[in-house]
Amino acid sequence: MTTKLNLLPVNEWGLDYTDRPLLISGPCSAETEEQVLETAHALKALNVSVFRAGIWKPRTRPNTFEGVGSKGLKWLSKVKQETGLKVCTEVANSKHTYEALKHNIDVLWIGARTTVNPFAVQEIADALEGVDIPVFVKNPINPDLELWIGALERLNKAGITKLGAIHRGFSSYGDSAFRNAPNWQIPIELKRRFPELLIINDPSHIGGKRDLIQSLSQKAMDLDFDGLMIEVHPNPDEAWSDAKQQITPDQFTEVLNSLKIRSKGDAQQEHSRLTGLRKKIDYFDHELMEILEARMKIANEIGEFKRDNDIIVLQNNRWNKVIEQSIALGNKKGLSPDLISKIFKAIHQESINNQTEIINKAIV
Ligand code: PEP
Ligand code: MN
């Protein structure tokens, strides 16, 4: 299903923002008035467009810090007064939304645990009817692009045109280098489907560790993200939530200074070498299709043989051999086992589907 979102370009949102990346920054949680104001003053000097702080914190387990609640909204008002920064907080239900609007919070975000729940998103959208303030929607915790789009559509239908998406990664079970796996192909597909949609990357919640923020931010910039949401705290190790991933204002400055913002390669800047290389890529893509077509034809012939000789479709030994020899060959050619295994699993799945169809056609 494709829909169109009715979106207002970010330069008409009333934010103090000129050049990519759009920066949304501040502590994971508002803890004390002093901590909030100290962070905001430090960030004011750093080209940040929106100051963030969580007031209501969705925490996985009870008996952890769940946010200071509504009193933190007054601290955010003070940030506005003292620094002129726009302020932003997370809302997870209509009560939060009304409270935030009452305190003139400029920008809202919907957290990953809320995006998964269409009832909660609809309740927030209803509370926002007629109030066209900027709203960012984080990806749902599970890697489901349609659910993410659904939440964006609900808000858009309620009249929110200053709409953005935040890519904060996806939950998975077991150990990983990341707190939330980035699955970059999901925000890339979102961008392909909605080219006008503002997409921000949140390296803090993807990485879960401060050491990963620089490389994730750089990757996001190179993948054409519009901005970054980064958690900054005056004393990260003592933070009441997400201590490992927060960075000091000085470390944030370093991240920004090291960030290389490359050109988008607009038509007029696109020089002939790039065009030539892209032609070669198109040629090889074409070759790949031809080879895939030929391979699939053979797999179908094998399907016919299995049908005629009453042999089951899946031959585990053979499949193990194919994947092993392909990974070994890929390795020699500098292609990662991860790539080879993904490609071959997809091809094998398609062959199996086709062969199952061929075998069963004979039965009926
Ligand atoms: C946050 O931004 O602090 C937060 C709770 O994020 P997420 O919804 O991405 O977990
Ligand atoms: Mn956080």
Q: How far is CA 142 from CA 86, 113, 178, 308, in A?
A: 30, 9, 15, 43
* Model confidence, pTM: 0.86
Q: Does residue 170 register a pLDDT over 90?
A: yes
CATH number of this structure's domain 271-363, picked from the four choices 3.40.50.1820, 3.40.50.2300, 3.30.70.100, 1.20.59.10: 1.20.59.10
52 and 257 in contact (C-beta within 8 Å)? no
Residues 24 and 28: their CA atoms lie apart, in Å, by 12
- pLDDT band at 267; cut points 50, 70, 90: low
pLDDT at 175: 86
Looking up tokens 């809302």, which residue turns up? 91
Give the pLDDT mean for 294-309. 95
Among candidates 130, 125, 126, 128, which has minimal Cα distance to 155?
A: 125
Residues with CB under 6 A from ligand 1: 28, 54, 58, 111-113, 138, 168, 205
pLDDT at 2: 60
Backbone angles phi, psi at 90, to 5 degrees: -90, 135
CA of 241, closest atom in ligand 1: 3
Q: What percent of the chain has pLDDT over 70?
A: 97
Residues 92 and 69: their CA atoms lie apart, in Å, by 12
Q: Does residue 75 register a pLDDT over 60?
A: yes
Task: Say if strands 198-201 and 135-138 run parallel, antiparallel, or are unpaired.
Answer: unpaired
Helices (H), the chain: 33-44, 71-83, 94-102, 112-115, 118-127, 145-157, 185-193, 203-207, 213-222, 249-258, 272-308, 316-332, 337-363
201 Cα: distance to centroid of ligand 2 (angstroms) = 13
Give the least confident one: 8-12, 141-145, 159-163, 171-175.
171-175
- pLDDT band at 270; cut points 50, 70, 90: low
Nearest CA to ligand 1 atom 10: 112
Give the pLDDT mean for 129-145. 97
Nearest CA to ligand 1 atom 6: 111
114 and 96 in contact (C-beta within 8 Å)? no
Give the pLDDT mean for 289-301. 96
- Run of H or E residues at 227: strand 227-231
242 Cα: distance to centroid of ligand 2 (angstroms) = 5
For the chain, where do the domains classified as CATH 3.20.20.70 start and end? 10-262
Tell me the ligand closest to 59's alpha carbon. 1
109 Cα: distance to centroid of ligand 1 (angstroms) = 9
pLDDT at 240: 96
Tell me the ligand closest to 166's alpha carbon. 1
Nearest CA to ligand 1 atom 8: 111
Q: What percent of the chain has pLDDT over 90?
A: 89
139 Cα: distance to centroid of ligand 1 (angstroms) = 10
- Architecture of the domain delimited by 10-262: Alpha-Beta Barrel (3.20)
For the chain, where do the domains classified as CATH 1.20.59.10 start and end? 271-363
Residue 116 is classified by DSSP as T
- pLDDT band at 362; cut points 50, 70, 90: low
Tell me the ligand closest to 90's alpha carbon. 1
pLDDT at 268: 63
- pLDDT band at 134; cut points 50, 70, 90: very high
Q: How far is CA 352 from CA 99, 322, 337, 338, in A?
A: 55, 14, 22, 21
Count of CB atoms within 10 A of residue 155's CB?
23
